[in-house]
Each structure stands twice: as structure tokens, then as C-alpha cells.
Amino acid sequence: MSPHPAPAYPPRMTLRHLLLTALLLASAATPAPALELPLWEELTKTQKMLDADRTFVEAMRKIHKGDLKEGARYSVLQGWDAFEKGNMDIAIRRFNQAWLLDPRNAEIYWGFAVATHVRGDGLAQTERWFARAEELLSTDPELFNDHAVALEDNGEHARARTNYEKALAIDPGNVLAHAGMARVLTQLGDTAGADRHAAEAKRLKPE
């Protein structure tokens, strides 16, 4: 899934301290549920939690000189970093914080989708977030690849094929999409098609 680099940040201790303080306030004010909920669904925030949200937003506004979208991108990178380390709850928490800063950042919903999938929240939940991400971002083949993988994992091979085809329509040389097509076509009984895509994946990225 999405190979995002670990977040980097300017080595200014005052800004780092401000950010850490905001993160700690936000974490301390939020009760620790069994699972971190995307967009805090099913959770009624207390006034203390709402105040912590505002503190976080204002801290990020100062850090990023008024550019909350940049702050959201930083929080998204933190989310991907936690995802890659296998901590889905922390990943969702960081994507939630990004949402406070820029709710139209598609990677927030992409992050919710893959984290809830890996966590085992169920395909219906995961697909809600993929749908929202795809509304905002329709040009990244890896988003459709990730959606296809989630469908594959749930035995939805025909629908996975559709998403791999969307990825290939954007990037005909996408190795992961060709490899995915080879897998799902095998499951669907199209051996010739599977062989074609497997050969193309090998041609594009020989071992």
C-alpha cells in the first residue's frame, strides 16, 4: 500500500515543542476507546476534547505560518508512517488530526480505508472511505490498486479486476496493477489473460 516517506520536519526545537504539546493535548483529552474511530464516528466529543482540537489547529497554524493544508499534509505523513509501522489506531488518529486541518485532502480518506481494512473493520466500512477518497482523487493509480487489494482480500475478484483496470487506464505501465490483474484473472478462470498480465509485469520489472 501507499509507500509514503517518513515525515521530515525543520529542525527548530521551538516548533517541534509546539507540535508535540498540541499532539499531547489532543491525545490526553480523548478517551482511549477500544478502537480509534475515523472522524470520531459514534463518539460525542466533550468540551475539553473540542478545546483540545482548537489548540491543535492553532498550534499547526503557527507552525505552518497560516497554511493549514501544509499542516494536514504533515499529519497525513505521520499517519502513513504509523501505518507502515503497523499501528492502525495511531495512523487513524493522525488522519483524524489532518482532517481538522483540511477535510478535502484525499489521502485522509485513503488512509482511513487502508487502515480500517488492515485492522479488519469490514469491507463495507473500508469501501466508504475508498469512495470518498476516489471522489477527491481520481488520478492516482495506487489508490485504485489499494482498493483492488482490499476487494481481493474479501474474495471480490470481479470488482477487484475493475479497480486494477482503472489503475491501468491511468498508468498502463503500472507493475502492481498488472500483477494484480494476473491474480484476479486466475481466480476468475481467465488463464490466458492472467498469463498476459503476468508476462507484462515481469517485462516491466524483471527479477
| Residue ranges making up the domain that contains 156 | 138-207
Q: Which of 194, 195, 148, 189 is nearest to 170 (CA)?
A: 148
Q: What is the pLDDT along the chain (207 residues), one digit of tens a residue?
A: 554 443 332 332 333 344 444 455 555 555 445 589 999 988 888 999 999 999 999 999 999 999 999 999 999 999 999 999 999 999 999 999 999 999 999 999 999 999 999 999 999 999 999 999 999 999 999 999 999 999 999 999 999 999 999 999 999 999 999 999 999 999 999 999 999 999 999 999 876
SS3 164: helix
Is 85 found in the same domain as 17? yes
CA 185 to CA 177: how far, in whole Å?
12
User: What residue type is assigned to position 197 of the chain?
Assistant: H
Residue type, 23: L
Could you tell me the pTM of the whole model? 0.82
Give the single-character DSSP code of 35. S
The grid coordinates of residue 204 equal 516491466
Q: Are 74 and 7 in contact (CB under 8 A)?
A: yes
Q: Pick the last residue of a domain from 68, 98, 127.
A: 127
How does pLDDT run across 155-192, given as a tens digit for each residue?
999 999 999 999 999 999 999 999 999 999 999 999 99
Q: CA end-to-end span of the chain, whole Å?
A: 20
Q: Does a structural domain hold residue 133?
A: no
DSSP 6: P
The CATH number of the domain holding residue 150 is 1.25.40.10
Residues 55 and 119 in one domain: yes
